[in-house]
Copies of this chain bind each other. A is one copy, B any other.
Amino acid sequence: MGKLTRDAVIDQALRIGDAEGLQAVTIRRLAQDLGVTPMALYWHFKNKEQLTVGMGDHLMRGFATQEDTTRPWNERLRGLVADLVGILRRHTCAASVLEEVDQMEVPSFLRVWDTALGLINQAGFTYEESCLIARYLLKGAIALAGGEARDRHRPSDPEAAEARRVKRLNLQSLPRDSYPHIVEMATPLVDGCSAEVYDTFGIDLLIGGVEVMAARRTASA
């Protein structure tokens, strides 16, 4: 039989995570799927946290923004965020993984942090500010990706569709005088936005904040 390898474990973990959510990824479930004892996994991973770190590392391994140093910092920063969002979009459980683990423990994600820090610092911010902005940007991208775009509701999942229907009805039946806007926007709230809005708008929003702060900085200097 195929030997149990670190990568095989991570592959299966991602498969489960994408299909059933990260909370379905347990040591015991994983072992069962791989036809092995739970304790076998402890040979390849120190503990479950390291498994999750491994998942994150695997996900971010493909991340490589081309460093075209001729372009201005804000365009390059936008490219970085767009690439990150792209990965998060392709794997359903990617956002949860990065929320669960300490991002600084994921080697391949450190490359994202480093290039982000460099670009932001280059824009004229102090070290302290750069750290704050980088965290805001990366967490922001994850937060945006966490709220699924409409296209990701695959019709093949009637269970989730039903859950959304219930949720929408709950919001719509709130008292109109206390929660007028929630009642009004119940549908876009639970359905999320289209991928186009997501791309052109969500990323602009994140980068726009950084740009305007940079502009204020040089204006007052």
Binding site for B on A (CB under 8 A): 99, 104, 110-111, 113-115, 117-118, 121, 127-133, 135-136, 139-140, 143-144, 146-147, 167, 171, 174, 178-182, 184-185, 188-189, 192-194, 197-198, 201-202, 204-206, 208-213, 216
Most chain B CB inside 10 Å of its own CB: which residue of A99, A144, A182: A182
Q: How many copies does the complex hold?
A: 2
A133 — nearest CB in chain B belongs to which residue?
Answer: B205
Main secondary structure of the interface of A (DSSP, over half): helix
**4 more A-B residue pairs beyond the given contacts A129-B201, A205-B209, A206-B209, with a C-beta to C-beta distance below 8 A:** A99-B99, A132-B147, A136-B202, A208-B212
Given the complex, which residues of B lie within 8 Å of A114, measured CB to CB? 178-182
A146 — nearest CB in chain B belongs to which residue?
Answer: B139
Given the complex, which residues of B lie within 8 Å of A136, measured CB to CB? 140, 143-144, 202, 205-206
How far apart sit A169 and B174, CA to CA, in the bound complex (Å)?
Answer: 51
